[in-house]
Amino acid sequence: MTLPDGWEMVVGLEVHTELKTNTKMFCGCANAFGAAPNTNVCPICLGLPGSLPVLNVRAVELAMAIGTALHSTISPSTFHRKNYFYPDMPKDFQISQYDLPINAGGHLDLPDGSRVSIERAHLEEDTGKSTHLGGSGRIHGADRSLVDYNRSGVPLVEIVSGPDIRSSAQARTYAAELRGILIATGASDGRMEEGSMRIDANVSVRRSGEPFGTRCEIKNLNSLRSLVRAIDFEAARQVELLEGGGTVRQETRHWDENDGSTSTMRVKEEADDYRYFREPDLVDLVPDQAWQDRVRDGLQPMPAERRATLSQRLDSPTQSVLDALEVVIDLGIDEFVIAALDAGVDADLAFARAANEIAGDLDNVANLSIGSYVATLKMEQSAELSATQAKAVLVEILANGGEPVSIAKGKGYERLASGALGDVVAQLIEENPDEWTRYREGDEKLAQFFIGQVMKLTKGQANGKDVIAELQSRR
Amino acid sequence: MRSVRQTARDVQSGETSALSVLEESLAQIRARNDELNVFLYVDEDGARAAASAVDERIARGEDVGALAGVPVALKDNLCQTNIPTTCSSKILEGWRPPYNATVVDRLLLAGAVPVGKTNLDEFAMGSSTENSAFGPTRNPLDTTRVPGGSSGGSAASVAADMTPLALGSDTGGSIRQPAALCGLIGVKPTYGLVSRYGLIAFASSLDQIGPLTKTVTDAAMALEAIAGHDPLDSTSLPEPSPSLVTHVEDGVAGKRIGVVRELIDGADEEVVAAVERAVAALKDAGATIVELSVPEFRLGLSAYYLIAPAEASSNLARFDGVRYGLRVDAGDVTAMMEATRTAGFGEEVKRRIMLGTYALSAGYYDAYYGQALKVRTLTIEAFGRAYQEADLLIGATTPSVAFEFGSKTADPMAMYLSDVFTIPSNLSGEPAISVPFGTGEAGLPIGVQLLGPGRSEAQLFAGARVLEIADGRP
């Protein structure tokens, strides 16, 4: 989407990422998504009277890893209390960082060559999760509210960009690249749908060359698609408002996914005074140089470097390969592709199976060894397995583990003997004379019918393309 | 009643049993609690079980710890598993903690027997125990007078021979002031020496738990048992518990004692006279006396009444009716929180929450809270200079002996002034001890305060012991 001529949008993003620690930020409770409500809780993350926080060192390391990857300065830092009343926040304050964040400054270079500055990337704790019953599903007007404190005290890093983003597409690229970095550092699994990465967008518009306009903050965007849609909607709304002679009011806005619109959550004038002050229950966080060096030395290559490495391997790639390249880099599964390319697998195949089958079951990627991935693709390339069978083998390994040769065998996947396909097709033509006539008369949809029947009879051993060739030869 | 030391000795040697010591304690509580309102909850069954366990371990020949069979009273802002814990506030109605404070675990480990929870000024905010939602505690030495506060119940328990040991918490003097008013030893340890895990916070950067006892040795034994690093408290000092009991008889020969004008000026004449006699006693014991002035101490009270309420306004936010304690239903969640807090908190707590909220607010932070933090830094620096000239400091604990009920409740400032001599040590995080030394009006005890640099508890106990002997308690 483009704004009317003469207008420019100015966007800054605040990305909250949950850190992939085993335990919460200040207690020993499991940091796990999807457990029964209020089962991963203890006196500390419930904020019971008398309980005290103890900082999780692993969370600090992951925050330092993020800062290092974003070229931030890791600094001695302090924790502050951000005070406000909300039922899903058990202490009615959030432990966060204020004037002295652990990571200050930095930048992120995007694949298109643009650079977005990073203001800070600080540590804080997550809140619980409220579910409002009745009414609109928001807290106001709800009949009752349920709170799950499993998420309370989960470690977060909030990464604040400078107001350097100028389009929704660039915002998307920034968020995707940042997600790739978070995955590469091991700090996060980057799953927006589970809320482990959430984005707030600060959007303003201005006429070219003018100073920044008044911004609105859109809260809790949970997918890249929502991010793009919300920014576009909001920028257009502001332009329309200004062109109509109105003014933009500084406020926090809610994104409605179904409506595709933003609406006022709270106006800045009513905004809370958070009464930040130093958290007296924690001591200063001063990572020494040796610790910073250990974190830096432990970092894996970042997406930009891996993208360059992988791109160098490609000779006039197709668009689908280029698309898949972004997926495998973002998700950190490019090592599968590289190993397949090394083993002589065609680029199309090497990328496609990773960007589809592995990306489709990323939770279980640990079940699939690189060797098994390569072996499966080699079997497909040598026609030992059909495409359908190769996909099924990968899906099975991801789900339950195992080794491709024995899985293929167990599923009864064998190469179709030469000439066997012709016999099967002949048999089907005989059994389905009406369908055959319609196909011969030009109803191409019937090809799918015959492919389906062939797959059934051969238990998926046949190749779709081969079936069509066989049908054509008899037409 | 036996001292802590005598009780532990007699129980360890089989001279008596933990259970019979406990029964004496429970009998005394039954005899006087209605009159004095010391205990908000007495855990007779739990205490008997704990005492029996000690006796069984002794019967098996096991080492039961330094506080074997010692009944101990806990200020009701210390969490004990499944025991009602109220902070003397209606807002915690019905709440039973699912865990022990670290000090409770350590007492149990040392063989002590927790008998119940004592009254306090609501959330430890007060100096007379008159701010309790469950009525005031009376001073066992004169029931027309306050026992001091906020650890007034704990002080009264020891003064009334209900238990030989009680734990209190001291944020601005809440152990030392009631100790002085009830004729007891009261210790505010170095910040971080005793874990705060399980102490319901009033002002986290000032709070410390400490013992109230009748003798210096008893206090040293108790502090040894509860002190030392705790991984559950990030502000806990890294070192293990120090040796204290072995230093109680070290004396003060060769020590420089600084007499601080600002810790005496403004006190009643009889209190000033008691401090002077104490100074003379220390000199007689071989100490060198140095006259000092630390003007920064005069600013302490103002700084304290910004820092402590500011932290309290945040610490007490969690009492919102959502998860535990009192809930007063209302139209929506915000109205419920407001109704709950309006009904649940007493007047003094509300006053301090408002004061603290104001001090931290945008536009006022720098002028109030920020300024108070600067005074705190000045206080710490001033202590540092004083400790270059003296090893320990001496002054009064309180301006007067125990006062009568209602005499200061109408004027919060008058009440706040009760803490003027005790607050500097909380601001600096350094230890101080109150020792009874002589009596004043109506034969009521006077407390003298010794102050020392961080981790100087052993020297403080040695100094306190000199005064204890000089005051006729060998």
Q: Which of B174, B195, B400, B456 is catalytic?
A: B174
- Give the pLDDT confidence score for residue A441 in this predicted structure: 87
Q: Note the CATH number of domain B4-243.
A: 3.90.1300.10
> What's the mean pLDDT in B101-120?
98
pLDDT of the residue at A137: 67
Q: How confident is the model at residue A464 (pLDDT cuts 50, 70, 90)?
A: confident
A276-290, pLDDT tens digit by residue?
999 999 999 999 999
Active-site residue, from B17, B150, B157, B434: B150
- Indicate if the pLDDT at residue B455 is higher than 60: yes
pLDDT at A271: 56
Beta bridge partners of residue A156, listed in sequence order: A18, A124
Residue A268 pLDDT > 70, yes or no? no
CATH placement of domain A420-474 = 1.10.10
The mean predicted confidence, pLDDT, of chain A is 92
Residue among B83, B62, B79 nearest B18 (CA): B62
- The whole-number pLDDT of residue A143 equals 79
Chain B, 219 to 248: residues with Cβ < 8 Å from chain A are 231-235
Distances in whole angstroms, Cα of residue A342 to Cα of each of A274, A350, A371, A381, A384: 55, 10, 12, 14, 20
From residue A44, give the alpha-carbon distance in Å to each of A28, A149, B232.
9, 11, 10
pLDDT at B360: 97
Cα separation of B266 and B263, whole Å? 8
Interface of A with B (CB under 8 A): 43, 46-55, 81, 83, 85, 87, 90-93, 139-140, 145, 147, 273, 275-277, 280-283
Q: Is the pLDDT of residue B31 over 60?
A: yes
The mean per-residue pLDDT over the stretch B38-49 comes to 98
Tell me whether B329 touches chain A (CB under 8 Å).
Answer: no
Instruction: Give the residue from chain B lying closest to A276, CA to CA.
Output: B360
Taking the domains of chain B in order of start, what are their residue ranges? Answer: 4-243
Where does the pLDDT of residue B412 fall: very low under 50, low under 70, confident under 90, or very high at 90 and above? Answer: confident
- Which run of H or of E encompasses B209? strand B208-213
What's the rounded mean pLDDT across residues A10-23?
Answer: 97
pLDDT value at residue A457: 83
pLDDT in tens, B177-208: 999 999 999 999 999 999 999 999 999 999 99
Query: How large is the average pLDDT for residues B402-413?
Result: 91
Give the alpha-carbon dihedral of A232, A237, A240, A244, to 10 degrees: -170
Q: Which residue has the higher pLDDT, B24 or A416?
A: B24
**pTM for this one?**
0.90
> Could you give the residue ranges of the DSSP H alpha helices within B227-325?
269-284, 300-315
Mutate to test the interface with A, among B122, B313, B333, B369 (most CBs of A within 10 A): B333
Kindly list the residues from chain B whose CB atom is less than 8 angstroms away from the CB atom of residue A140.
332
A322-329 long-range Cβ contacts below 8 angstroms, 24+ apart: A323/A355, A324/A351, A324/A352, A324/A354, A324/A355, A325/A351, A326/A111, A326/A176, A327/A354, A327/A355, A327/A359, A328/A354, A328/A355, A328/A359, A329/A180, A329/A303
Q: Judge whether residue A462 has pLDDT over 90.
A: no
Domain boundaries, chain A: 7-296, 301-410, 420-474
Helix (H) or strand (E) holding B467: helix B457-470
Q: How far apart are the CA of A155 and the nearest CA of chain B, in angstroms?
A: 17
Interface A-B: count of C-beta contacts within 8 A: 100
Q: Tell me which DSSP letter residue B227 carries.
A: B
At B290, which helix (H) or strand (E)?
A: strand B288-292
